Chains A and B, each alone.
Chain A
Amino acid sequence: MREEGRISAFQAMVYQISVILATLILFHPGITAMQARQDAWIAALIALFSALLVVFMAAKLALRFPDESVIQYAPRVMGWFFGKLAGLSYIFLFFWLAYYVQRQFGELMTTAYFPLTPNIVFILIITLLAAYMVYAGLEVLCRVALLWGIFVPAFFLLFMFIAKDINIGHFLPVLENGIGPAVAGSLLPGATMAEAAVILILMPFISDKRRAVPASLAAVAAVFVVFSIILVGSVGSFGADQTGRLLFPGFTLYRRLNIPALPVLERLDALYMAIWVGGMLLKLATLFYAGMLGLGQWLGLKSHRPLIFPMGALLVALSVRSWDNVVQLVNFTTEVAPFVVLSVTAVITGITLIVAVLRGMRGGPEEGGGKRASAADKKA
């Protein structure tokens, strides 16, 4: 599988950020605020630590088998049948998240800007773009992600304008109803941040594997920061109650933003949307890519490229047919998505890691950069 080229650990981090970020800033702040109320920031912290744990586990597992993806070594670790099943569940997760992302993208675009345009137009456009990126391969994908990543600091810039509207009182009293609501609220963002477990697929292509573990954890920390900005910004300026009632708090937050001294700088939601649309495309492309790569390996194909467009068409159909309306989509996000994501990223990864450790299995050193890989193993 050398055809996919090589990426650095830093690029892998950008890849992981792209996988997580875009959806994390859409519905999630509203749902977290609804469940955790004024303790939403505590929920975000709990989510950070649980996601760090899951991703650390995934990165450790990936590092045990530095030259293969989880799809390839799972049958060796857990036996052919269960290994293939585990592999399939990873592939399923990536595709499932991919068409879920397509639908979310379509929903916000139609809600916010194009009420008359059919949903499928946006889904088709974003899927065609993503399919092209997947076709171009991993290195191209990472470079595009990096290009987009340059604009993410704009969030920080915008936050300076929100900061003046934040009322600390909206976060009090702390832990009014105990830690329970905060834990419940942490589930969804935690599950989403745990999607950085995509490192299991990426590991064979990373050139400096030693740095893959810290890079993965850094990716989780980075998305946590952006998530917290939106969450703290919207809870601080609307109050937990209102934030919980909003469909897209981040969007509303930036839409409300105004600077009395600079009346020109209004409607900054356009900037938010520009970052978000790019993020959504990258999220779809990265998930789609991980799924395609996994599928190719799972079926034992020489190349997954011929399957890209058929699979893309399938995803479009699934994204349109799976939910009737935006409310279903939100309820699905709250009640189903976190459990499915965690059961794959945490449970299956955990079982695989435990079995691998118990059986003392690890991947052989790489032919090319053998020294590096073995050094990484020693460290691990």
Chain B
Amino acid sequence: MRWAAALVLLAFMLMTAGCWDLQQVEEQAYITGIGVDRTPEGEFKLLFQVVNPNTIAGGGVLGAITPGASIPAKSFRNYVTAGRTLYEAERAMDLLIPLALHTGHNREVVFSEAVARQGLLDVMSFFNRRVEMRKLMYVLVTQADIEEIFDLPNPIIAIPSIRLEGIIRQQHWTSFFPVVRLGDFLNWMGAEGRETHCAVVSVKPTEARTLRPYAGPGFTAAEPLLDVEVAGAALFRKDKLVGFLNQKETRGLLWVLNKVRGGPLLIRCPESDKFTSVSILRAHARVKPEISADGRLRVTIRIREEADLEETQCKLDVGEAGAIAALEALQAKTITAEVMSAVRRAQECRSDAFGFGEAFHRRYPREWRLMKENWSEDFFPAVEVEVEVDAKIRRVGLRKKPLTLAPKMLD
């Protein structure tokens, strides 16, 4: 009797799993990418990328678009609606989609430049308030069309939003763009003495050409004409986009934020027009703010960095004493230049993405009270920045002496 009762209770547990909020997996539309833009009428344009699980599991469904045709269906579907609020636009999508929208697995959100320049405060409530929205999604800004970003074909990873996530996860190979998650983005937006920033995604023509014919049976599809590229950073003041950093400048910012995890560093050889590449292994930065006696703001950034030698065109014998030290000094110069270019650009934009204000707030709380109102406008652009780099080259690969040609071939 007891066992029977226990069994009945267990059965109840299985059946009453969700109360009113029961969600069936097969009745969900999983959104993996969100794009936000503005319509000419001034409404928000919302794009949801919904994956099509049928095409992923079974190797493609033929005839899904035109019945009887042999073109496989896309593995995703983009829906675009407009509304005064994003929620309005989202619900308008329900008139088009036969499944329940599920945003819990969203990978990234891409804002168009128009929306970002106008200010993201209005749209952030939508992302911040809902429990289902994870703060781990990536935030990106684009100057291209969001519909293009989320539709570019590429056979290697067919779903554009998942591809974009993949590119972001490979950031440690370059450090040419910041990896900013929604949670960080929001924290920085609300922070005192720091402005927010995020990565930039753009569309780029493909350099590779298709040589084989691609029409007719037995032939392959053409090379896609365009690619998405994630590079550079977007700088904000409060919630508004105010400028962009290019790849090198972005890494200049990341050095200071302690976010450089790797990447190529190009060094010009001494007394020649040739170059050396090292790959960054690890780096650590300390920011030290100072207010001098005459009231000038100074920031000293100390960066410790380690790298491996990857490639050199210089006639350089790394086995020689002093050769490594010379390279290290040049490397330090390159890093300093990167940081300084980022600082200059940020000061032009009046966007303190570095968090210098925070650093002053911590060290000089009393003085900060006078500065905090006009920090971005008056004080941040006047901050004097000094960079001290301690760069090391730890390993040189398999070769000590450079590859040289035999003398006879030089003539």
Which A residues contact B (CB, under 8 angstroms)? Answer: 111-118, 121, 169, 172-173, 176, 238-239, 241-242, 245, 252, 255-256, 258, 266-267
Chain B: CB-nearest residue to A173: B365
Whether A241 contacts B192 by the Cβ 8 Å rule is: yes
Q: List 5 A-B contacts (CB under 8 A).
A: A116-B20, A172-B362, A173-B362, A242-B187, A267-B134
Chain A residues within 8 Å of B358, by CB: 169
- Confirm or deny: B155 has a beta carbon within 8 angstroms of a beta carbon on chain A: no
Contacts A111-B131, A112-B131, A258-B136 aside, 19 further interface pairs with beta carbons under 8 A come to A113-B131, A115-B21, A116-B20, A117-B19, A117-B21, A169-B358, A172-B361, A172-B362, A173-B361, A173-B363, A173-B365, A176-B365, A239-B191, A241-B191, A241-B192, A255-B135, A256-B134, A256-B135, A256-B136
Whether A114 contacts B362 by the Cβ 8 Å rule is: no
Closest 10 CB pairs of A and B: A173-B365, A172-B362, A117-B20, A117-B19, A116-B20, A114-B21, A176-B365, A256-B135, A116-B21, A256-B183
- Confirm or deny: B186 has a beta carbon within 8 angstroms of a beta carbon on chain A: yes
Chain B residues within 8 Å of A258, by CB: 136
Selected from A113, A118, A121, A242, the residue in CB contact (under 8 A) with B186 is: A242
- Confirm or deny: B18 has a beta carbon within 8 angstroms of a beta carbon on chain A: yes
The 0/1 profile, CB within 8 Å of A marked 1, for residues 350-374 of chain B is 0000000011011101000000000
Provide the bound-state CA to CA distance between A113 and B134, in Å.
13
Provide the bound-state CA to CA distance between A121 and B19, in Å.
9
Provide the bound-state CA to CA distance between A255 and B134, in Å.
7
Provide the bound-state CA to CA distance between A351 and B164, in Å.
67
Selected from B18, B20, B135, B187, the residue in CB contact (under 8 A) with A239 is: B187
Whether B20 contacts A118 by the Cβ 8 Å rule is: yes
Chain B: CB-nearest residue to A168: B362
Q: In the complex, which residues 175-213 of chain B have their Cβ closer than 8 Å to any Cβ of chain A?
A: 183, 186-187, 190-192
Q: In the complex, which residues 1-43 of chain B have their Cβ closer than 8 Å to any Cβ of chain A?
A: 18-21
Chain B: CB-nearest residue to A266: B136
Provide the bound-state CA to CA distance between A174 and B18, in Å.
46
Number of residues on chain B facing chain A (CB within 8 A): 20
Provide the bound-state CA to CA distance between A115 and B358, in Å.
38
Chain B residues within 8 Å of A169, by CB: 358-359, 362
Which B residues contact A (CB, under 8 angstroms)? Answer: 18-21, 131, 134-136, 183, 186-187, 190-192, 358-359, 361-363, 365
Provide the bound-state CA to CA distance between A48 and B191, in Å.
29
Chain A residues within 8 Å of B186, by CB: 242
Whether A242 contacts B21 by the Cβ 8 Å rule is: no
Chain A residues within 8 Å of B192, by CB: 241
Chain A: CB-nearest residue to B18: A114
Chain B: CB-nearest residue to A258: B136
Chain A residues within 8 Å of B361, by CB: 172-173
| B227 CB to nearest A CB, Å | 25
Most buried by A among B19, B359, B361: B19
Provide the bound-state CA to CA distance between A36 and B59, in Å.
57
| B28 CB to nearest A CB, Å | 15
Provide the bound-state CA to CA distance between A117 and B136, in Å.
27
Provide the bound-state CA to CA distance between A169 and B190, in Å.
16
| B30 CB to nearest A CB, Å | 15
Chain A residues within 8 Å of B19, by CB: 114, 116-117, 121
Whether B190 contacts A113 by the Cβ 8 Å rule is: no
Whether A238 contacts B187 by the Cβ 8 Å rule is: yes
Provide the bound-state CA to CA distance between A181 and B191, in Å.
19
Chain B: CB-nearest residue to A122: B19
| B32 CB to nearest A CB, Å | 15
Chain B residues within 8 Å of A113, by CB: 21, 131
Provide the bound-state CA to CA distance between A310 and B396, in Å.
80
| B183 CB to nearest A CB, Å | 5
| A117 CB to nearest B CB, Å | 4
Chain B residues within 8 Å of A267, by CB: 134
Provide the bound-state CA to CA distance between A52 and B19, in Å.
42
| A179 CB to nearest B CB, Å | 14
Chain B residues within 8 Å of A121, by CB: 19-20
Selected from A114, A115, A252, the residue in CB contact (under 8 A) with B135 is: A252
Provide the bound-state CA to CA distance between A172 and B358, in Å.
9
Provide the bound-state CA to CA distance between A57 and B370, in Å.
46
| B268 CB to nearest A CB, Å | 34
| A239 CB to nearest B CB, Å | 6
Provide the bound-state CA to CA distance between A266 and B190, in Å.
25
Most buried by A among B135, B136, B186, B187: B187
Chain B: CB-nearest residue to A238: B187
Provide the bound-state CA to CA distance between A238 and B136, in Å.
13
Chain A residues within 8 Å of B365, by CB: 173, 176
Provide the bound-state CA to CA distance between A173 and B364, in Å.
8
Provide the bound-state CA to CA distance between A164 and B358, in Å.
20
Chain B residues within 8 Å of A111, by CB: 131
| A346 CB to nearest B CB, Å | 33
Provide the bound-state CA to CA distance between A213 and B21, in Å.
46
Chain B: CB-nearest residue to A174: B365
